[in-house]
Amino acid sequence: MLFGAHVSTAGGIHKSVPRALELECEAIQVFTRNQRTWSPAALKPDDVERFRTEAAEHSYLTHAVSHASYLINLCATDPETLAKSRTAFIDEIDRCHQLGIPYVCLHPGSHLGEGEPAGLEAIGESLRLALAETKHTRVHVLLENTAGQGTNLGWQLEHLRDLMRMTKSKRVGVLIDTCHLFAAGYDLCTPKAYRKTLGELDSIVGFEHIRAFHLNDSKHECGSRKDRHANLGEGEIGLAAFKKLVNEPAFSETPGLLETPGAPEGYVQDLTHLRGFRK
């Protein structure tokens, strides 16, 4: 696995590269836009050029992920929010295209009481629309599994499988967050439980569709449906599962990205753990 982290873009997106280099990252995750607004400022051409040049120099453009805005809900029940979500998501893909970032990850959406089947159908429709509007790009959409808080979809691996089937697109894959996986009820703590969960990932989603991981421990127990990240070894998952996961042959070239507390200082110990696990 290739180790990296979500790094700050404060001062311009190109500033993320030296921050990643300081942490000795092999992969990188960024926000391409302000997460708190529907109408962010456009990317500055100079920033785009500097990011593309510097990221390419250090091989980050092969293993870069953008995290889509948390405002986006591709199955929003309010027509105005749904329209804004679709527009924002298309903008996310276009920004990745400009920057040369190959992947954008997305929390699928919250059905807000409409029920899981209706929510998944709505997300599928939104994804098909976004892919059609961005067919000039090679950016891949990574559906991130969720912990299942509230009416969030994506907490069952079958949700991710069904959404991939709905889009029928090679541009759609999956990003697995270990905290979310554990909180949703997929145990990782014992050798038997770990193997069972890995088996389900392969049989339901398919290892070939997993393009990246978020490597986060969980503050809460398995099945809690609570999304609270912890530093590696300081949560309920523990270090043993991460030691096995990062050495799975199927994921030898897959980005494993930290979103743990206390960044960037908190990343240092977590990256030390991960590098020590590598065989």
Q: Is 256 helix (H, G, I), strand (E, B) or coil?
A: strand
Catalytic choice (177, 187, 217, 236): 177
Look up tokens 């696990």; give the residue. 277
Q: Is 237 helix (H, G, I), strand (E, B) or coil?
A: coil
Mark whether 144 is an active-site residue: yes
Q: In whole angstroms, what is the distance from residue 19 CA to residue 189 CA?
A: 32
Mark whether 36 is an active-site residue: yes
Q: Are the beta carbons of 1 and 275 closer than 8 angstroms? A: no
Mark whether 140 is an active-site residue: no
Catalytic choice (95, 171, 211, 229): 229
Catalytic choice (91, 92, 144, 236): 144
Mark whether 259 is an active-site residue: yes
Token couple for 271: 């990256």
Catalytic choice (52, 67, 95, 273): 67
Mark whether 180 is an active-site residue: yes
- What does DSSP say about strands 217-218 and 172-177: parallel, antiparallel, or unpaired? unpaired
Mark whether 221 is an active-site residue: no
Q: In whole angstroms, what is the distance from residue 39 CA to residue 22 CA?
A: 31
Token couple for 11: 């001062």
Mark whether 227 is an active-site residue: yes
Catalytic choice (36, 80, 136, 265): 36
Catalytic choice (14, 52, 63, 107): 107
Catalytic choice (54, 94, 227, 236): 227
User: How far, in Å, are 130, 178, 242 from residue 213 at the CA level?
Assistant: 23, 7, 11
Give the containing element (helix H, strand E) for 120. helix 116-133
Catalytic choice (70, 158, 253, 275): 70
Mark whether 111 is an active-site residue: no
Question: What residues are annotated to the active site?
Answer: 36, 67, 70, 107, 144, 177, 180, 214, 227, 229, 259
